[in-house]
Structure 1
Amino acid sequence: MLNFLKPTKKDIKIPEDKVLQTYKSYRTLSLSGAFVGYMGYYLVRNNINLSTPLIQNQLEVSKAEIGLITGSMLIAYGVSKGLMSALSDKADPKRYMALGLILCALINIILGFCNSLHAYIACVIMLGVFQGMGVGPSFITLANWYPKKERGIYTAIWNISHNLGGGIVSPIISKSVFVLSPVLGITVADLNEKYWQISHCYVPAVLAILISLYVLYAIKGSPENEGLPSIKEINAMRGYEDVLSTQKAKSDLSSLEIFKSYVIKNPGAWGVALMDTFVYLVRFGVISWLPIYLLEAKGFTKGQMHTAFLFFEWAAIPSTLFAGYLSDKIFKGARMPPAIIAMIIIFFMILGYFTSNNLNLVIFYAAMTGCLIYVPQFLCSVQTMEVVPSFAVGSCVGLRGFMSYVVGAALGTMLIGKMVEVFGWNAGLYILLSSCILCILCAFFVHIYSKKLNKI
């Protein structure tokens, strides 16, 4: 670990009468930093999905080759997420997260100069590598500052950051064209077609760099490193008891030892990883192909496609918050029942998305799929923090991230792209429906394991 990325302990001690006040202030700031920071990662990631029709026209490539571009990024991200999240267990969350965000922005700037398939693939692979630096620090921050009793709702709040970031890319790209046109002296038409890289790559990159500055300001280290008592002591002062708080951090263990002892041998860790694999297959099987599918198969205009893309992302915001509340308050910490219900409904929404020819209904089915697909993904994220001790959260996130992207997202992009190329869009439908069923089965296993572990 590079020295400047290592966590530092402040040489102060917060007075006892100010502990709870300071704790609440720091954890709110930390949550806001993780929220805005992770939103920034999606500004310089989902812009690639929106660029696929333009890249396809620019390079005159097939759907399978477009799938290779998006799939290469996701595979690189999955591998990196596994490694980078494990390394983040030993890093300062804010510096680690901010550095990754700046590097993603720089790769986006380079992407604006690409003019060949191989150049795009090389750049998106590097983008995927640096994207892996975002999620680990987020979960470590949540685990450091929030007890199990509160993680459902607060993780739900953090989780909508990527819906906001992923959804806001579309209006940012669309509106920046009109803002920049008079400034640059370029017509709107030319900015949309000839110089599309400015709005699709450069604008999100600049915003991501600005966001990294807020990350450095807002996110705090562990309570102990900020001069506070341990989270276990703070929870006791607040009258909370955390199931995993009795497991002391193994600061003498390396990242590899933590991964081998507390993740690889943990059935719960594998359960959430496999469940998330099928969630991601569905998620990326829809979102990665939504622009091309709606333009080509459904006859949407570009404006209608952008609307559907935005609804897919933003429809998840209220459902994620509601699911967090349900899992905390109604299901008493059980995360999987709401996830199973959501996946059953998604099964039928995907059927409607592929079979309907009505413009409004297609947008509705896409929005409902987006509304619900992030529910099992988010609940799987919360469950990840609860099947391992807090000092192994990054490593468990790494395994889940590796499986969900290298297997799930890659199949949702490259496999579906190849199958659609050969057999048509119905092949994509069958793959997505099968994934829904397998996800439900995995969720049942995780629920049973979690009940046994935590005695919910």
Structure 2
Amino acid sequence: METGYKTPPEKFAAFLKRQKMVFIVAFLGYVCAYLVRNNFKLMSKSIMVTNGWAKDDIAMLLSCLAVSYGLAKFYMGALGDKVSLRKLFALSLAASAVICIIIGFYHTSIAALAVLLVLCGVVQGALAPASQNMIANYYPNRTRGAAIAGWNVSQNFGSAMLPMMVAGMTTLGWIVPGTGHVLAAFVVPAVLVLVCAAFCWKYGGDSPEKEGLDSLRQMYGEGGESNVASEEEQSSLSYWQLIWKYVFCNPALLLVASVNVALYFIRFGVEDWMPIYLHEVAKMEDAHAQMAISVLEWVAIPGSLVFAWLAAKYPNKMARIGAIGLFVMAGVVMAYEAITASGAPNYALMLVVCGVLGALIYGPQLIVNILTINFVPLKVAGTAIGFVGVTAYLIGNMGANWVMPIMADHFGWFWSYVVVAGLSAFAAVGYLILARHEEEVIKA
């Protein structure tokens, strides 16, 4: 690696060791974040049926989590720019686990669930900005995109592990969906997450400088950080001036946020409504529907790793790559709808399509994380991550929660997926517009 010939070899070796450990903490911690975030979503059909609730009730509860999580990503991201990332990450992870356990005992009350899901969203909102910010602070331009892309796979591991854990506990009789006996789906994952939170507290990191190491700029020169703002400007402007100029008034970041809104609608429009859609339209049993979700998540992992490899090979051309993936996604979404609409789909073919969907949902979305960090000074990276996240959750996630069932009830599921395909094409065009700016600010 290029060190700029300023850092002593032993000091650089210590940095590389910490760099690897910080990635492990950010990765494992975010895997665990999903083990205590999607529990209600996964058990939504069982809870809806056993309590006699309507789809609108589930949509409202999912929105409680989405709104609080989206807002929290912004102010928790901003908080992460000011406090210890290590402590914020570990404490928020532990709090998420405790709330998940409580949800397991109060899943028969809409009011209690609404409050608990709001609280869950608040503490979960710190996890993505803090973990991405940790990685951004320890990785230079050449490897930052690949590291962020590799970290992005953590959500696939978490999302895929939870259904498998639930399926295993269902087989063992610990969970009985038909009777509403779902406590283990919340308690067992939460206990594992509490252990991981202790690990993150001990081994997480804030920045190389705070550990007595050299800064990325000192070690890697111009390739240490993006060339969005000079060191002089970052020193002369206050924190709030940097936020105003490079977050709220940054045209490139605003377009990234718009693309992310579309991508979150696609992701949650497909994933959140897959259990109910496959039950109502494809006439599938719960086990088959859960397997489809699991396949989507697991195949997304090698798909995302391909994008991570591309990020390492082409660190300033990720926007173009994302555009290609999203144009393909539009066609795959409509293929998924066509295959399942018959009410008796070819199950093997449907699983293949679900796997392709997973790769094309998460691959282009990880590029948003890369561009967000690359388009702002690292001093305000947490705030930028939170800003892009809050718009995605408040508009994209909420839009998917409400538009998908409304379109399905009034016009049919076909038109719900037409909206998803259209947004995929919109996001692809957005990436094409961002491609030139990416090449200008990233000097690998």
Common topology (TM > 0.5): yes
1:87 equivalent in alignment to 2:79: yes
| CA RMSD between the two structures | 2.2
2:3 alignment partner in structure 1: none
Q: Within the alignment, does 1:200 sit opposite 2:185 as a pair?
A: yes
Identify the residue that residue 419 of structure 1 maps to in structure 2. 407
Match of 1:61 among 53, 57, 67: 53
Partner of 1:154: 147
Q: 1:235 to 1:161 in 2, by over 3 A?
A: same
Tell me the residue number matched to 1:342.
325
Mapped pair 1:235 → 2:228: no
1:381 aligns with 2:374: no
The Cα shift of 1:48 comes to 2.0
Does structure 1 retain, via aligned residues, the 8 Å contact 2:30–2:155? yes
Within the alignment, does 1:96 sit opposite 2:88 as a pair?
yes
Task: Quote how far apart the aligned CAs of 1:443 are.
Answer: 1.2
- The answer to whether the 8 A contact 2:32-2:196 is kept is yes
> Shift in Å at residue 287 of structure 1?
0.4
The offset of 1:17, in angstroms, is: 4.3
Contact residue 323 and residue 375 of structure 1 kept, 8 A: yes
1:116 CA displacement: 2.0
Report the counterpart of residue 10 of structure 1 in structure 2: none
Distance in 1 separating the partners of 2:234 and 2:187? 43
Answer yes or no: is the 8 Å Cα contact 2:68–2:122 preserved in 1: yes
- CA–CA distance in structure 1, aligned partners of residues 320 and 413 of structure 2: 31
CA contact (8 A) 1:258 1:395 kept: no
The aligned counterpart of 1:366 is 354
Whether the 8 Å contact between 2:149 and 2:311 is mirrored in structure 1 is no
CA distance in 2, matches of 1:232, 1:451: 19
Letter in structure 2 aligned against 1:284? F
Q: What is the DSSP-based 3-state SS (H/G/I as helix, E as strand, rest coil) of the residue aligned with 2:231? A: coil
Give unpaired runs (5+ residues) of structure 2: 1-6, 340-344
In the TM superposition, residue 196 of structure 1 has moved relative to its aligned partner by: 3.3
Cα distance in structure 2, aligned partners of 1:259 and 1:241: 21
Superposition deviation, residue 86 in structure 1: 1.2
Q: CA deviation at 1:254?
A: 6.5
CA distance in 1, matches of 2:80, 2:386: 10
Q: In the alignment, is residue 272 of structure 1 matched against residue 256 of structure 2?
A: yes
1:413-435 per-residue CA deviation (whole Å, 9 max, x = no partner) reads 12212222232212311221121
Aligned to 1:9: none
After superposition, residues 294-443 of structure 1 pair within 5 angstroms as 294-329=278-313, 331-356=314-339, 357-443=345-431
255-264 or 34-43: bigger deviation? 255-264
**How far 1:152 moved relative to its partner?**
2.1
CA contact (8 A) 2:330 2:421 kept: yes
What is the rounded CA distance, in whole Å, between the counterparts of 1:154 and 1:58 in structure 2?
Answer: 43
Amino acid at match of 2:288: Q
- Aligned counterpart, 2:4: none
TM-score by length of 2: 0.91
Deviation at 1:328, TM superposition (A): 3.2
The CA distance in 2 between the partners of 1:312 and 1:418, in whole Å, is: 24
* Identity rate, percent: 26
Residue 119 of structure 1 and its aligned partner are, at CA, apart by 2.1
Q: Give, in angstroms, the shift of residue 112 of structure 1.
A: 1.4
Query: Is the contact made by 2:50 and 2:179 (CA closer than 8 Å) also made in structure 1?
Result: no
Question: Residues 29 and 219 of structure 1 are in contact (CA less than 8 Å); yes or no, is this contact kept in structure 2?
Answer: yes
What is the TM-score with the length of structure 1 in the denominator? 0.89
Question: What SS does structure 1 have at the residue aligned with 2:105?
Answer: coil
CA contact (8 A) 1:105 1:209 kept: yes
